[in-house]
Structure 1
Amino acid sequence: MNIAVVGAAGMIGKRIAEEALRRGHQVTAVVRNPDKLSEYKEKMNIVRANAVDPSSIAEAVKGHDAVISAYGPKFGEEEELLEAARALIEGVRRGGVRRLLIVGGAGSLITDSGDALMDTPEFPEELRTLAKAHADAYGIYQESDLEWSYLSPAAIIEPGRRSGQFRIGIDRLVTDESGSSRISVEDYAVAMLDELDDPQFIGTRFTVAY
């Protein structure tokens, strides 16, 4: 499959691109700064694009079978996430691609208390604005007519090992016996590519955690 990964230079995007390569897919990295992926130039096609410009996205994704967006705004520029969501939908549509998978946020997942994770007392105050932006962007994707899937991570996502073993949920935060909600970036990438290779969640959100 020919896949375009928007934001492939970031922590999550890079591992998604690596997982796609591992599975034999052709990968185009769509990034702001191609120099950040210079070590991958023999493994994937690298193109420059502006994630908030529909025309730029359309040109970058044209001819691909699917687009995976791992776009993330800089700290303090969270509102750009909404602009990027609209631009991505329009750009993917103009580029003639129907399948769109999105790296989402965990803040709007529902906890055992019935509250969204971002509304619980334990949620870091400095991340609330970003979590709210992710939740609003999710609403934008829900209104899209594309074949979209939105993958929310666990409450904590960080680099680790690739086990290929995790649990899947829909709108509720997945926790273990101790109440912890974690996933490695590597296993998050596995879940994303599993959904690409064998779609189970077209037109909806899902989440993964140990």
Structure 2
Amino acid sequence: MNVLVVGATGATGRLLVSQLLNRGCHVKAVVRSAERLPETVRAHAHLTLIEADILALSETELAELVSDCSAVASCLGHNLTWKGLFGQPRRLVTDAVQRLCDAIQANHKTEPTRFALMNTSGNRNRDLAEPISFAETLIVGLIRLLLPPHSDNEHAADYLRTQVGQNHPAIEWAAVRPDSLVDRSDVTDYAIYPSPTRSAIFNAGETSRINVADLMARLITEEDLWEQWKGQMPIIYNQI
């Protein structure tokens, strides 16, 4: 299976690349700097590195990138710096998702391409009318206004949910929503739910980045798991 990964040098993206390679996938990784990946990963025979800004690639270049891929995964996010939080591009994730979906459709493939998006538990799945307290609504509203990356994550998932939808002939999707992210060296037990079982603001859970990478890799490569969660926004928590 050929998989395109964007955001491949991020804290979760590089783990996803390794997980996919370990599963025998051929991975294309769009990176701004290949040096940010470990040498053992860069030297892998099944990894192709494309040093580029995903938003700077032309429509033709993007269509060519995804032409032989059965799946696309996005671990794009904003750096936790002043420029990363408040500078341009403010719609990094949303614009990348939209352009990649356009590229997938441009190839007119007979089988749908899987699109796995890393998102956040702070974003509600409005298809399910997930309940949220008044206090949390106020705080999330402030975060939406004050921190552009949160709005970007919301719009990216909403694009898949409303523009691609549930019955698109060319694209199937899932948006993985971790809670508070932590670093761990190994995959551990984790639980997956259709909706949050706790408040992302007042009672946040914990999700290790390597568990997020494991779930995304499994979704991409395991047919039964994909069929279970496609068109949904699964929440993932570490099991303690």
TM-score (norm 1): 0.83
Contact 1:8–1:31, Cα closer than 8 Å, also in 2: yes
**SS of match in other structure, 1:187:** helix
* Letter of the 1:67 counterpart: V
* CA distance 1:92–1:83, shift in 2 (3 Å): same
Deviations 1:32-75 (A, max 9, x none): 33343372332111123432244332222221111111122433
* Letter of the 2:133 counterpart: G
CA distance in 2, matches of 1:160, 1:93: 37
Look up the match of 2:106: 94
* CA distance 1:109–1:101, shift in 2 (3 Å): same
Look up the match of 2:63: 58
* Letter of the 1:22 counterpart: N
Look up the match of 1:192: 216
CA distance in 2, matches of 1:61, 1:55: 10
CA distance in 2, matches of 1:38, 1:18: 10
Displacement of 1:134 in angstroms is 0.7
* Letter of the 2:96 counterpart: A
Look up the match of 1:167: 191
* CA distance 1:103–1:81, shift in 2 (3 Å): same
Look up the match of 2:21: 21
* Letter of the 2:139 counterpart: T
CA distance in 1, matches of 2:7, 2:234: 20
| Structure 1 runs of 4+ with >4 Å offset | 110-113, 115-119, 123-127
Q: Could you say what the CA RMSD is over the residues aligned between the two structures, in angstroms?
A: 2.9
Match of 2:172 among 124, 147, 157: 147
Look up the match of 1:11: 11
Look up the match of 2:77: 72
* Letter of the 2:115 counterpart: L
Contact 2:144–2:150, Cα closer than 8 Å, also in 1: no
Contact 2:17–2:27, Cα closer than 8 Å, also in 1: yes
CA distance in 2, matches of 1:21, 1:84: 23
Gaps of 5+ in 2: 79-83
Contact 2:6–2:74, Cα closer than 8 Å, also in 1: yes
* CA distance 1:140–1:113, shift in 2 (3 Å): closer
Q: Which has the larger radius of gyration?
A: 2
Contact 1:168–1:208, Cα closer than 8 Å, also in 2: yes
* Letter of the 1:6 counterpart: V
* CA distance 1:23–1:79, shift in 2 (3 Å): same
Q: Does 1:108 align with 2:132?
A: no
Contact 1:49–1:57, Cα closer than 8 Å, also in 2: no
Gaps of 5+ in 1: none
* CA distance 1:28–1:80, shift in 2 (3 Å): closer
Look up the match of 2:34: 34
Displacement of 1:14 in angstroms is 0.4
**SS of match in other structure, 2:133:** coil
**SS of match in other structure, 1:75:** helix
CA distance in 1, matches of 2:219, 2:146: 27
Contact 2:143–2:150, Cα closer than 8 Å, also in 1: no
TM-score (norm 2): 0.74
